[in-house]
Structure 1
């Protein structure tokens, strides 16, 4: 956060905008949503321009410093509240793996292969992760339970398949990011899931 020592006493528009950009470079603002930082900085610059236009010719000094700090504090509070809502919404959207009619692991696997061949990587990610989940249920590694989330599946299966635990966690994150977070899927991500599927089919669960 910006302190009094970081802001020049004689505040000008260039100095104020530079200080605002340094504050808004914080990672929490960058993660809020695309374009948010730019819009906030533009808004702040406009407010400062209005202020300095009003007091043009009058001594700035402490008055300019106080107003700048007030504006910046308001911005910090608003943006952090907005960011908190985004984070909470992402957490809520981590929903269950399966939706719709139940299908066998082979059916999900075939759908994933077709999606990969057609360049539909997001669909391939969804179907391959579901193929892994259904395979684990069909083999009795996991019990068949509706409403299981990707994170829960990775934790439960990882305890029984320690050799694949890290990849299961990564696969769960990828599934959530693509299916619920709107992240663009890649061919590399699809291939990683395909490799995990093959590894899971050949692995043996350990006793817990």
Structure 2
């Protein structure tokens, strides 16, 4: 009905959340509208907006986290570009230069070396001859498995020295220990023996990758040691002839 009939006309007014929701009832005779108190109105609005129908299109928790991450990255890049001469272009140049430097260092130095966490024995539980280790090394090299080839060739070197009585057979010996002991018996090859032990440790415990050059260097050492013969000397104070291991001199055939 129109204003002449004196019928109340409801005019809903929905303020912001936190303000009083005031559904005003206007009267035709100019009386003040009926209002709802602030706290009940706030609760009513909160209850209404918590209904699922209002949140069907809200982003998921993962999407909100991803958006927050990209916003953080954007702020970080904006701050970096503002501090870099040339702005965004200068920042791009700096990043590319850093990537190129890291790539060059990686290519030059290889995988970062990790120190061995333990000194494991050189040989496993099944004893094999030097010839068997050499055959295994050559088979691995033929398949370009250079890590395994280096390991088997180093075992061949040490087993050969044991078979020739230049090293005492000792279970649990490490590559470093074998190189140090053999270096005292064969001083002309001390540096090469230590380098071979270091290569063995690098590929076995240090996470390094062997190269064909590493294997061929070790194979040449194996061949040179095979062709080396110690010179036996008589003991000046003993009852008979003996072998003075620490004082051996080598003669290459």
TM-score bucket (shorter structure): 0.5 to 0.7
CA shift for structure 1 position 91? 3.9
> In the alignment, is residue 176 of structure 1 matched against residue 201 of structure 2?
yes
Normalized against structure 1, the TM-score is what? 0.57
How far apart, in 2, do the equivalents of 1:101 and 1:198 lie? 24
Number of the residue aligned with 2:18:
none
Cα distance change on mapping 1:205 and 1:92 into 2, 3 Å: farther
The answer (yes or no) to whether the contact 2:166–2:185 under 8 Å persists in 1 is yes
- 2:137 corresponds to 1:101: no
| Residues 12-32 of structure 1, C-alpha deviations (whole Å, 9 max, x = no match) | 9688xx9xx9xxx9xxxxx9x
Question: Would the aligned equivalents of 2:117 and 2:205 in 1 still touch at CA under 8 Å?
Answer: no
**1 or 2 for the larger relative contact order (CA 8 Å, sep ≥6)?**
1
CA contact (8 A) 1:122 1:178 kept: yes
Give 1:1-208 correspondences, 5 Å limit. 90-205=115-230, 207-208=245-246
Q: What CA RMSD, in Å, does the superposition of the two structures yield over aligned residues?
A: 2.8
Whole-angstrom distance in 2 between the partners of 1:205 and 1:176 = 28
Q: Is the 8 A contact 1:125 1:193 kept in 2?
A: yes
Q: How far off its partner does 1:205 sit?
A: 3.7
Gaps of 5+ in 1: 1-11, 26-30, 35-85
Contact in 1 for aligned 2:136/2:149 (Cα 8 Å): yes
CA distance in 2, matches of 1:166, 1:158: 8
For the residues of structure 2 that align with 1:182 and 1:205, how far apart are their CA atoms? 36
Q: CA deviation at 1:92?
A: 2.8
TM-score, normalised on structure 2?
0.47
**Higher strand proportion (structure 1 or 2):** 2
The alignment covers a number of residue pairs equal to 134
8 A Cα contact 1:105 1:135, kept in partner: yes
Query: Shift of residue 162 of structure 1?
Result: 1.1
Distance, in Å, in 2 between the alignment partners of 1:172 and 1:205 is: 22
Q: Is the 8 A contact 1:164 1:199 kept in 2?
A: no
Structure 1 contact 161–204 (Cα < 8 Å) conserved: no
